Structure 1
Amino acid sequence: MTKYRDILRLSSMGLSQRSIASSCQCSRNTISEVLDRANENGLAWPLPEDVTDADLQYLLFPEKAQASSRKIPDCEYIHRELAKSGVTLSLLWSEYCEMCRLSREIPLKYTQYCNYYRKYASTTKATMHIQRKPGEQMEVDWAGQTATVVDAEIGELLPVYIFVAALSCSQFAYVEDFLSQNQESWITAHIHAFAHFGGVTKILVPDNLKTGVEKSSWYSPVINKTYQEMAEHYGTTVIPARVRKPKDKPGVEGTVGIISTWILAALRQQTFFTLTELNEAIADKLTVFNKRPFQKKPGSRLSAFLDEEKHALLPLPSSAYECAIWKVATVQFNYHIAVDKMHYSVPYEYIKHKVDVRVTRGVIEVFYNHHRICSHPKLYGRPGQYHTLADHMPDKHKQYVQWNAERFIKWAEQVGPSTATVIRAILTGHRVEQQGYKACMGVLKLADLYSLVRVEAACAKALSYTPSPGFKHISTILKSGQDMVILEQAAAAETDSDTRPPSLHGFTRGASYYGRN
């Protein structure tokens, strides 16, 4: 806008039009025209106090205040449409001209159309400085730029991802590198950042990545279960930034750009073979970075953290959070779930139910409807291993699992010594011990059809003519009643021993042997 007030003031001081034009940064023709209009309207310096710049323009050039007959574009609509993919100002202007033609209105030229929008956009893009409270927020993000380490075995370059955390108040930063951006790396980075700061902020402000936010929403975002569990352990809360709104976390966004220059770019000439070496180099550069003085205010990030923010952080818990990964599994018909190619048993009542699995470094925990139903030590080594608890089995399966040589021998000893000898012979008669389990079970189950005494007698009979009898031998003896002969002989021997006096000789034939009465 032309500085009409300054033109009249400088003219009253006796300056030439050339000097006035140089001071007000406008042409001499404009100066001459303003002074002529002022003389015509009787305006002279000093002006009345109630005359504003807008009033002065209306008095000098009333024609400029007339409304334009051209159609003014809807700048809010333009701003909203430009956010869509492929939409440009040129396209919107052509559509605007077509609308004006249909409504018989005069459109603006393209340059004026763009000027209207630029004025609107400059007001909507206005920024506001928000004074953050000490200990209130920690902003976290992955840096867009990556570093590299060399695989010592094959010489291949491996990408390394950089985690950055910054406190909103002091801008004190923490940086660490990882080989992956997975859930475990994300949680571990937070744990190390809390330890570095020596405390916890009230709020965590992450991006909307899947390791932090499962479902983004301005009103009710769904936080990742592991991330939420970690936040509860440290007594903080997660409030993610809006999607595509980097100004919601300006601290870490600015720090990411500075880190890329002062740390990653500074280490570009060095070669690292392990993450430990790279982290040590980053830690040294980070210390220097946090101690660098601010450009526009006194102190540094470190001094601001120590003076203003450290005392406001929440204390760390007594123990660090153990990183846990949550998964969903379905209980199969063998009442096991598969986790990382290992199999863990679940109570058989939950067959074909979906369960939540919490995986830590040493323990596998299984939950159903937020109630823990079992836990197992985590298996390592070759895939396909099983960890089964007997309490999770149906009763019939428990009996099968309890089959072993020791149990069969103890069971046989309760019947008699001959039965125990037969069971041992059956077990040792097979190359694999488990092959004899069914035969042992069959021999011992014969007592249900006959009796313990008869089974013992049948085993004794079988051992009298073979050192390794089987189930068929014992079953045949019992079916044919051959065991009864042994029992009758034993009973007769006991009767004779009770009625006759003991003989003095080892073998004595009786009167019945010679056919005499």
Structure 2
Amino acid sequence: MPTPRVAMRKIKECLRLKLECDLSHERIALALGLSKGVVSKYVKRATAAGLDWPGLSAMDDNAIAAQLCMSPPAVRGERAPIDLPWVHRELRRKGVTRQLLWQEYCDANAGRLTYQYTQFCQHLHDYTASLRRSMRQLHVAGEKLFIDYAGPTLGVVNPDTGELQRAHIFVAVLGASSFTYACATPGETQIDWLRGLTQTLAFFGGVPALVVPDNPRALITQPDRYEPVLNRATQVCAEHYGMAILPARPRRPQDKAKVEVGVQVVERWILARLRHPCFFTFSALNHAIADLLTDLNARPFKKLDGSRRSWFETIDRPALMPLPAQPYEPARFKPCKVNIDYHIEVDGHYYSVPHSLVRKTVEARITDTTVEILHAGQRIASHVRSPARGRHTTVADHMPAAHRAHREWSPGRFLHWADTIGAATRQLVEHLLTERPHPEMGYRSCLGLLALARQYGDDRLEAACARAWAIGSRTRKSVQSILHNKLDQHPLPSAIAQTDWVTPDHVNLRGPTYYRDPPTTH
């Protein structure tokens, strides 16, 4: 093996000082910074080869090295090759180390000349350095999922109005296998991020240990290099799936290089192909993306064996945690203060809560279909979400007893109550409910009659209603006056009781003809 040129110059100088200047080994070692043993070794080799300084000075470095390296290197046999792509892929499995892979390499090539551990690691290092920069990070199987949105968008045309809406493309990439998912969402809101994430996990059929997004305001309440704070909806989603969500460091795209490359691949192999077709629904666009996604994941790697799909099936899928029994329904949370009418406002609609929470602060969990109200971590109410603005959704159990009792009255209930007292009461109640434009306008009068029944009894009320109807004074006040003056206890005249009031004939009564103009005389 040739001696390096710097060392060869020292060897030549060592031999010159000895053969020509006849210095001691100790002085030569001090002058050249060598040990006396090295000086002695090369002087002995030059003497054994019969070399003197005039002859050595005329030789080049290679000739001197050939003369002085008297023990030629051992002849090396061909060493067993290392399957570097396989080693690189196996390192992504959890718990697999280089030491283990080297031992397996040696066991698989027993009886053959193999590389030592140091050389094994060096070959692996050189191979890894030849790959793309984003592939140099060592990702453990099933550990990390990187998510982001692509910059370019696609258009979705409303077929009724012709309005163009931009579709934003959500991209997710698994760290170990680079298995990729993409879908279109109407925007990049909190619901869009969480819906894209839940669809990704359903597509993979499992849950990674860690999700790495950027620092979008939709997910991260407080971006921080050391202690980022997730918002409530993001934290609940992570707890539902039993995973962690840890955003990349602010302004450090290299922390999520996988998805940066994944976004670039999606833009080139999916969005570029969909730039000409016209889509009228998000469903149609997502079907087109899904078809191209199958082709993307099946494309073979350029510098590695296999494809994203084969690596996912081999490495990532076995390491993913199982999905929960119930899928997560994306939701947003909103703090609300309970109004004096025991309702809270969500998107212009009003939902009831127990009246005991009036003026207190609660939290609304809002999904596409439901509105749940939480207080002190407990669910206190749940409503079907309504798009009607300015309207109310009220549960009777949330109302105070007095309000609930008032709400429970209806024309049928008043009439049924009147029937239990008597025909005259039924007749008067029916009159009170029908004489006004709306039955509810007569509720108070009917409730007043109910109060009179509790005060005077059903029999006296029935008699008072009969007298009020007979005299044509058909109001609650008239019935109350009859009861107060005990007129209900007097018998009704037969004529009055059976017929309406009729004006009697009398000489002192002028009658309607009195006011007519007298006939004109000529």
Q: Which amino acid aligns with 1:364?
A: V
Q: Which residue of 1 aligns with 2:461?
A: 455
Q: Which residue of 1 aligns with 2:488?
A: 483
Instruction: Give the Cα–Cα distance (whole angstroms) in 2 for the partners of residues 430 and 322 of structure 1.
Output: 49
Q: 1:301 to 1:433 in 2, by over 3 A?
A: same
Worse-superposed segment, 181-190 or 212-221: 212-221
1:481 Cα deviation after fit: 3.2
Q: 1:127 to 1:395 in 2, by over 3 A?
A: closer
1:452 Cα deviation after fit: 3.5
Q: Would you say 1:443 and 2:452 are equivalent positions? A: no
Worse-superposed segment, 168-177 or 279-288: 279-288
Contact 2:467 2:492 in 1 (8 A): no
Contact 2:215 2:250 in 1 (8 A): yes
Q: Which residue of 2 aligns with 1:285?
A: 292
1:344 Cα deviation after fit: 0.7
Q: How does 1:57-68 map to 2 (within 5 A)?
A: none
Q: Which residue of 2 aligns with 1:177?
A: 184
Q: Can you list the C-alpha shifts for 1:246-277, whole angstroms capped at 9, x where unaligned? A: 11111101111122122212322333332233
Q: Would you say 1:314 and 2:315 are equivalent positions? A: no
Q: 1:298 to 1:352 in 2, by over 3 A?
A: same
Q: Which residue of 1 aligns with 2:397?
A: 391
Q: Which amino acid aligns with 1:343?
A: Y
Q: Which residue of 1 aligns with 2:216?
A: 209
Contact 1:461 1:486 in 2 (8 A): no
Contact 2:5 2:61 in 1 (8 A): no
Equivalent position to 1:355, from 362, 373, 391: 362
Q: Which residue of 1 aligns with 2:137?
A: 130
Equivalent position to 1:430, from 427, 436, 447: 436
Instruction: Give the Cα–Cα distance (whole angstroms) in 1 for the partners of residues 445 and 379 of structure 2.
Output: 41
Q: Would you say 1:159 and 2:166 are equivalent positions? A: yes
Instruction: Give the Cα–Cα distance (whole angstroms) in 2 for the partners of residues 139 and 211 of structure 1.
Output: 16
Q: How does 1:232-243 map to 2 (within 5 A)?
A: 232-243=239-250
Q: Which residue of 1 aligns with 2:509?
A: none
Q: Would you say 1:404 and 2:405 are equivalent positions? A: no
SS of the equivalent of 2:272 reads helix
Q: Which amino acid aligns with 2:397?
A: D
Q: Which amino acid aligns with 1:140?
A: I
1:137 Cα deviation after fit: 0.7
Q: How does 1:85-234 map to 2 (within 5 A)?
A: 129-234=136-241
Instruction: Give the Cα–Cα distance (whole angstroms) in 2 for the partners of residues 407 and 314 of structure 1.
Output: 59
Instruction: Give the Cα–Cα distance (whole angstroms) in 1 for the partners of residues 163 and 377 of structure 2.
Output: 45
Q: Which amino acid aligns with 1:417?
A: A
Q: Which residue of 2 aligns with 1:417?
A: 423
Worse-superposed segment, 243-252 or 187-196: 187-196
Which consecutive unaligned segments of at least 5 residues does structure 2 have?
13-56, 66-132, 495-522
Q: Can you list the C-alpha shifts for 1:265-292, whole angstroms capped at 9, x where unaligned? A: 2322333332233222222222222222
Instruction: Give the Cα–Cα distance (whole angstroms) in 1 for the partners of residues 158 and 384 of structure 2.
Output: 32
SS of the equivalent of 2:490 reads helix
Instruction: Give the Cα–Cα distance (whole angstroms) in 1 for the partners of residues 163 and 466 of structure 2.
Output: 74
Q: Would you say 1:244 and 2:251 are equivalent positions? A: yes
1:333 Cα deviation after fit: 0.9
SS of the equivalent of 1:266 reads coil
Q: Which residue of 2 aligns with 1:337?
A: 344
Q: Which amino acid aligns with 1:386?
A: H
Give me the CA root mean square deviation. Answer: 3.0
1:487 Cα deviation after fit: 9.1
Q: 1:426 to 1:325 in 2, by over 3 A?
A: same
SS of the equivalent of 2:136 reads coil
Q: 1:139 to 1:448 in 2, by over 3 A?
A: same
Instruction: Give the Cα–Cα distance (whole angstroms) in 2 for the partners of residues 329 and 203 of structure 1.
Output: 32
Q: Which residue of 1 aligns with 2:376?
A: 369
SS of the equivalent of 2:141 reads coil
Q: Which amino acid aligns with 2:438?
A: V
Contact 2:134 2:261 in 1 (8 A): no
Contact 1:141 1:252 in 2 (8 A): yes
Contact 1:457 1:486 in 2 (8 A): no
SS of the equivalent of 1:462 reads helix
Q: 1:227 to 1:456 in 2, by over 3 A?
A: same
SS of the equivalent of 1:318 reads coil
Q: Can you list the C-alpha shifts for 1:95-114, whole angstroms capped at 9, x where unaligned? A: xxxxxxxxxxxxxxxxxxxx
Equivalent position to 1:473, from 462, 478, 481: 478
1:233 Cα deviation after fit: 2.0
1:437 Cα deviation after fit: 1.4
Q: Can you list the C-alpha shifts for 1:368-418, whole angstroms capped at 9, x where unaligned? A: 1212222222224x3222111222222332232223223323433444332
Q: Which residue of 2 aligns with 1:29?
A: none
SS of the equivalent of 2:273 reads helix
Q: 1:281 to 1:411 in 2, by over 3 A?
A: closer
Contact 1:457 1:487 in 2 (8 A): no
TM-score (norm 2): 0.66
TM-score (norm 1): 0.67
Instruction: Give the Cα–Cα distance (whole angstroms) in 1 for the partners of residues 290 and 449 of structure 2.
Output: 74
1:422 Cα deviation after fit: 1.8
- Equivalenced residue count is 376
Q: 1:234 to 1:462 in 2, by over 3 A?
A: same
Q: Can you list the C-alpha shifts for 1:400-445, whole angstroms capped at 9, x where unaligned? A: 2223223323433444332232212222222311111122222332
Q: Which residue of 1 aligns with 2:507?
A: none
Instruction: Give the Cα–Cα distance (whole angstroms) in 2 for the partners of residues 287 and 481 of structure 1.
Output: 92
1:366 Cα deviation after fit: 0.7
Q: Which amino acid aligns with 1:392?
A: H
Q: Which amino acid aligns with 2:227?
A: S
Instruction: Give the Cα–Cα distance (whole angstroms) in 2 for the partners of residues 154 and 471 of structure 1.
Output: 59
1:471 Cα deviation after fit: 1.6
Give me the identity figure in percent. Answer: 39
SS of the equivalent of 1:152 reads coil
Instruction: Give the Cα–Cα distance (whole angstroms) in 1 for the partners of residues 236 and 391 of structure 2.
Output: 29
Instruction: Give the Cα–Cα distance (whole angstroms) in 2 for the partners of residues 157 and 402 of structure 1.
Output: 49
Q: Which amino acid aligns with 1:473?
A: S
1:163 Cα deviation after fit: 0.5
SS of the equivalent of 1:355 reads strand
Q: 1:162 to 1:127 in 2, by over 3 A?
A: closer
